[in-house]
């Protein structure tokens, strides 16, 4: 992907668009950065080897253009409400702006475009959509921080992200619903502290990168491929499903650490009802992750092993195993580091 000069150009412009949005001091400047980000990300979505990429890029353009239009007009209304000192219109337009930003980030109840679009992307584009493309909308949401609307979005995101992944056989849709669930946790951390949100986002991005990196190496797109492609390599099979459990937030692994921080801060803020819903939704996600892992370890399929032999020679496998080590034992290493301090 990154050896193509046009891809490098559009990736650079996409990063610049996000930085413009994050550093702007007006809604018009933030809208401009989002538009630059959008128009540079769409060419990155097009892939000649993937027939669904054109459809996915069109879906992305339509939803993001709708959100950008709403954001632009509501920011103009907000400016007029500030000039007229009308508090009712100001709060209403702020809610509209936040709804547009939630649509851009793919949070529930504005999530309907997200899983279908993920299905048509390559793994590297899906990774950018799950991680980098969420930075700018989430930063703008933190400026507004309307508690009632944010609370509704958090509850719906964690519930829909958990229930939506139960009956999925596509890995890209599974990662999409997992992203919606994690987005609910990130929005709840935004209600408390931006530093906790940043920590959660960094850990989530790392764990998503480890899994998508593996899926991209072996060209895995469906669950039955996970069962049949790792018969000869028990280490890769074990590491892959441990990364699933780490992404789900099972306590011994690294993915539990950011959730631990959010749980601690929500407890200190007396948000017990919200915390209960979020933990129950996480148990549902862990249930279908554990179900996948149990099926993979108990069942062995012996077809397609020649594909596995071809890909096992890749140099990227060693890099993946190193990242998996930090994903599995990262919590222990961080705890040991602070204990030594």
Distance, in Å, from the CA atom of 101 to the CA atom of 141, rounded to the nearest integer, reads 7
pLDDT tens profile 8-35: 999 999 999 999 999 999 999 999 999 9
pLDDT tens profile 172-207: 999 999 999 999 999 999 988 889 999 999 999 999
122 in helix, strand or coil?
A: coil
CB of 166 within 8 A of CB of 111?
no
CB of 196 within 8 A of CB of 189?
yes
Measured over the CA atoms of residue 25, residue 7, residue 126 and residue 103, the dihedral's sign is: positive
Q: Name the nearest CA neighbour of 141 among 107, 110, 109, 102.
A: 102
Strand partners, 222: 170
Distance, in Å, from the CA atom of 287 to the CA atom of 291, rounded to the nearest integer, reads 6
Q: What is the CA radius of gyration of the chain?
A: 21
Tally the C-alpha atoms within 13 A of residue 12's C-alpha that lie toward its C-beta: 7
Q: Which residues contact 248 (CB under 8 A, 6 or more apart)?
A: 178, 255, 282, 285, 286, 289
- pTM for this entry: 0.92
Measured over the CA atoms of residue 254, residue 259, residue 262 and residue 266, the dihedral's sign is: negative
pLDDT-derived band at 2, boundaries 50, 70, 90: very low
Q: Which domain holds residue 22?
A: 5-340
Cis omega (within 30 of 0) on the bond before 109? Answer: yes
Distance, in Å, from the CA atom of 79 to the CA atom of 275, rounded to the nearest integer, reads 36
- Computed over every residue of the chain, the mean pLDDT equals 87
Q: Provide the token pair at 26.
A: 């007006």
pLDDT-derived band at 1, boundaries 50, 70, 90: very low
Distance, in Å, from the CA atom of 283 to the CA atom of 295, rounded to the nearest integer, reads 18
Q: Provide the token pair at 47.
A: 């892939």
Distance, in Å, from the CA atom of 37 to the CA atom of 26, rounded to the nearest integer, reads 17
pLDDT tens profile 67-101: 999 999 998 888 887 777 666 677 888 899 999 99
CB of 281 within 8 A of CB of 159?
yes
3-state helix, strand, coil in the chain (%, to 5): 80, 0, 20
pLDDT-derived band at 241, boundaries 50, 70, 90: confident
Distance, in Å, from the CA atom of 18 to the CA atom of 38, rounded to the nearest integer, reads 9
| Total domains, the chain | 1
């Amino acid at each position: 992907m990154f050896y193509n000069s046009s891809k490098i150009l559009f990736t650079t412009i996409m990063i610049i668009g996000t930085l413009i949005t994050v550093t702007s001091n007006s809604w018009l400047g933030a809208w401009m950065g989002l538009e630059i980000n959008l128009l540079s990300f769409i060419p990155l979505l097009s892939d000649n080897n993937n027939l669904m990429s054109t459809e996915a890029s069109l879906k992305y353009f339509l939803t993001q253009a709708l959100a950008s239009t709403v954001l632009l007009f509501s920011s103009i209304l907000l400016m007029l409400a500030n000039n007229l000192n009308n508090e009712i219109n100001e709060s209403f337009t702020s809610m509209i702006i936040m709804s547009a930003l939630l649509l851009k980030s793919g949070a529930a109840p504005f999530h309907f475009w997200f899983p279908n679009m993920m299905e048509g992307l390559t793994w590297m584009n899906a990774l950018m959509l799950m991680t980098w493309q969420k930075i700018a909308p989430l930063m703008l949401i933190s400026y507004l921080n309307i508690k009632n609307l944010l609370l509704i979005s958090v509850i719906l995101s964690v519930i829909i992200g958990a229930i939506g992944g139960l009956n999925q056989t596509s890995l890209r849709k599974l990662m999409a619903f997992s992203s919606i669930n994690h987005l609910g946790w990130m929005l709840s951390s935004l209600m408390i502290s931006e530093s906790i949100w940043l920590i959660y986002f960094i850990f989530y991005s790392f764990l998503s990168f480890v899994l998508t990196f593996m899926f991209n190496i072996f060209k895995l797109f469906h669950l039955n491929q996970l069962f049949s492609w790792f018969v000869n390599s028990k280490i890769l099979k074990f590491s892959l499903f441990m990364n699933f459990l780490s992404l789900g937030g099972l306590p011994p692994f690294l993915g539990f650490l950011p959730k631990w921080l959010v749980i601690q801060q929500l407890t200190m803020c007396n948000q017990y009802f919200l915390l209960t819903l979020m933990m129950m939704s996480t148990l549902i996600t862990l249930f279908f992750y554990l179900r996948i892992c149990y099926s993979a370890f108990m069942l062995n399929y012996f077809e397609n092993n020649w594909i596995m032999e071809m890909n096992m020679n890749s140099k990227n496998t060693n890099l993946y195993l190193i990242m998996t080590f930090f994903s599995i034992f990262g919590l222990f290493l961080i705890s040991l580091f602070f204990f030594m301090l």
